[in-house]
Amino acid sequence: MSRVKAHFYRLTHLFLPLSVLVLLIIINLIKGADYFSITMVNGAFYGNIPNILFGASELVILSIGMTLVTAASRGQDISIGEIGAITSAIFVLYVLNAGEVTLWTILVGFLISCVAGLVIGAFNGTLVSVFKVQPMVATLILFLGGRSVAFMIDGKVSPILANEISNQIGTVIPGVPIQTPIILTAVFIAIVAVVLKTTNLRLYVESVGINPSAVRLNGIDPKKIIFLTFLIMGVCSAVAGFIAVNKAGRHDSVNLLKFIMMDAILAVALGGNSLGGGKFSITGSIIGAYTIEMLNRTLLRLEVNPEAIKAFKAVFIIILMVIASPVVRVFVRKVLDKAKTIVARYSERQTDGLNNAGISITDTPGKKEE
């Protein structure tokens, strides 16, 4: 019974992102019936759907980390774009100073950037878990100063990744029809799915978000779980920064992943997750991230001013926060309970009516056989 309830909970949380996704698909089909057309260019798939999957790569990865941070700490990390800028600057610095660029060079540079992401995540996690600083305030430090750090690592220039391997990571590998960032994102999602399936991470994160005091009584330290989610967020930011800088082919510390935290928070909320922590749906956040990318491209397709898109998303976040608020949730729960009660009473009346009809038929004397 508990498994059925859990499955039902996940399905209800996917209703919002899937509804918005379907609505956007309908709007795009009205705009042009060729929306789902896919063409092969130089051995790779291109079209609206591949472009959405390609464009949302960084956002999907960041929304996964943001989901865990939100669920455990009941707050958001607003420094994820800046963390990505710093870690990708470290990656570029290593690659450019390594001499000949090989696959091993790229791999080592990527691992170093992930370690840097862990260190920065540990900094944020310590402020939140140990010093009890509100997550948004704690991460405001890097949000304000992170890009200056990245700019100094760059040597106050915008270094260019002029090598074939980086180009293939950011675009396509010859002979592979799917763009590399899409493949890397799929691999990352698969790793997260395996971790959540084979460990107690989901249980611990949700428990800390729902009731940290009760978790402490059961021998689990909420500080460690919150700290761990910020470590994961640091790695997610490093991976997103790695993909973004290879896509761009150069490191722009000012604009790389700029304001992406807004879309990541929106993806979490759109995925049916409460911004107040507790139970979460990674699947919902992933669908939410792809939905936001589709929303951005749909608004541009409808020739909406890019500046107006930011205002539109800000209003959308406010609406989602209201919908996800405890007051609205309690109201919806009461309405659903009343609806269930009405349906149950109706079913009982129908059952009683059928039973009475059955008794009447049974009690009616049949004709004697001659």
pLDDT of residue 58: 98
Q: What average pLDDT does range 6-18 have in this prediction?
A: 66
Distance CA 370, CA 368 (A): 6
Measured CA distances, 100 to 97, 167, 171, 244, 348 (Å): 9, 15, 21, 22, 77
Q: What is the dihedral of CA 133, 137, 141, 144, to 10 degrees?
A: 180
Q: What is the Cα–Cα distance from 329 to 120, expressed in whole angstroms?
A: 35
What pLDDT shows up at residue 65? 98
Query: Residues 288-302: pLDDT tens digits?
Result: 999 999 988 988 888
- 95, two tokens: 């690659």
Mean pLDDT of 74-79: 96
Residue 332's pLDDT band (boundaries 50, 70, 90)? confident
Distance CA 155, CA 187 (A): 33
Confidence of residue 315 (pLDDT cuts 50, 70, 90): confident
CA atoms within 13 A on the CB side of 272: 21
Is residue 155 over pLDDT 90? no
Q: Which positions ≥6 away from 316 have C-beta within 8 Å? A: 266
| Chain mean pLDDT for the chain | 88
How many Cβ atoms are within 10 Å of 210's Cβ, its own excluded? 15
pLDDT of 305 over the 60 cut: yes
**pLDDT tens-digit series, residues 21-48:** 888 899 899 988 888 899 988 888 999 9
75 φ, ψ to 5°?
-150, -175
Cβ distance 7 to 279 under 8 Å? no
Identify the DSSP state of 39: E
User: CA-to-CA distance for 173 and 191, rounded, in angstroms?
Assistant: 22
pLDDT at position 326, please? 66
Check whether 353 has a pLDDT greater than 60: yes
Task: Dig out the tokens for 306 from the structure.
Answer: 């890019």
Q: Assign 369 a pLDDT band (cuts: 50, 70, 90).
A: very low
What is the distance between the alpha carbons of residues 247 and 182, in angstroms, rounded to a whole number?
12
Angstrom distance (rounded) from CA 315 to CA 321: 10
Instruction: Give CA separation, 299 vs 28, 52, 293, 310, 321, in Å.
Output: 10, 13, 10, 11, 22
Residue 76: CB partners within 8 Å, gap ≥ 6?
Answer: 66, 69, 70, 135, 136, 139, 261, 265, 268, 275
Contact between residue 277 and residue 210 where contact means Cβ atoms under 8 Å apart: yes
Helix axes 180-198 and 201-210, enclosed angle (nearest 10): 80
Distances (CA, A) of 142 to 83, 136, 149, 198, 228: 8, 11, 9, 33, 18
Please tell me what DSSP assigns to residue 49: H
What pLDDT score was predicted for residue 8?
52
- Please, what's the b/e burial string for 214-245 (b: 16 or more CB within 10 A of its CB; e: otherwise)? ebeeeebebbebbbbbbbbbbbbbbbbbbbbb
Q: Does pLDDT of 306 surpass 70?
A: yes
Structural domains present in the chain: 2-303 (1.10.3470)
Condensed to tens digits (0 to 9), the pLDDT of residues 85-115 reads 999 999 999 999 998 899 999 999 999 999 9
pTM reported for the whole predicted model: 0.86
Amino acid at 126: T
